[in-house]
Amino acid sequence: MDKKELICIVCPKGCHLEITKDKEGFHVTGNGCKRGPVYAKKELTNPTRVLTTTVKIKNAVHDRLPVVTDGEIPKGSLMKAMNVLNRLEVEAPVRSSQVVLKNILGSGIDILASKSMNKR
Ligand code: SF4
C-alpha cells in the first residue's frame, strides 16, 4: 500500500492522518490522540457509518420523521439502507428512541426515531 491520507472524523479536530502499511501492520502519523490510528485502520479495512436520515410519517404534525441507526453499518450498505428507508412509512404517534425498523438489511442494527412526533 502506498501512503494513504485520511481526515479523522472521530472528533471535531479533524486531524490529517497519513497511513502506511508494512508487514508489521498500519503506521499512522498526524493523529492528535490514540483514537486516530484505530479509526484509520477500521476505515481502510471495514469502514462503517452511523446513518441519519428521515422517513415518511402518516397522521403526524410533520411529513418526515428524523431517524438514526442504533449503531454503525458497513459504508458499502448505506445506499441499500437508504433505498429501504425511502420506502418506509411509519404512523404517528412515535416516541423518541422508538424502534421504527428492526434489523435493517439483516445487519442486526435497528432504526430509531430521533425525536417524538405527536398525532395530528
Ligand atoms: S486523531 Fe484524535 S484528536 Fe485527532 S481528530 Fe481523531 S479523535 Fe480527534
Domain that holds residue 108: 52-113
The yes-or-no verdict on residue 1 having pLDDT over 80 is no
From CA 82, how far away is CA 33, in angstroms rounded? Answer: 33
| Widest Cα–Cα separation across the chain | 61
Write out the DSSP string of 30-83.
S-SSTHHHHHHHHHHHS-EE--EEEEEEESBSSSEEEEEESS-EEGGGHHHHHH
The yes-or-no verdict on residue 98 having pLDDT over 70 is yes
Q: Is 15 in the pocket of ligand 1 (CB under 6 A)?
A: yes
Q: Is 35 in the pocket of ligand 1 (CB under 6 A)?
A: yes
Closest residue by CA, ligand 1 atom 8: 11
Model confidence at 2, pLDDT cuts 50, 70, 90, reads confident
Residues 108 and 58 in one domain: yes
Residues 105 and 82 in one domain: yes
From CA 118, how far away is CA 61, in angstroms rounded? Answer: 7
CATH of the domain at 67: 3.10.530.10
Q: Which of 91, 56, 52, 84 is nearest to 70 (CA)?
A: 52
Number of domains forming the structure of the chain: 2
Residues 58 and 14 in one domain: no
Q: Is residue 118 part of a domain?
A: no
pTM for the full predicted model: 0.83
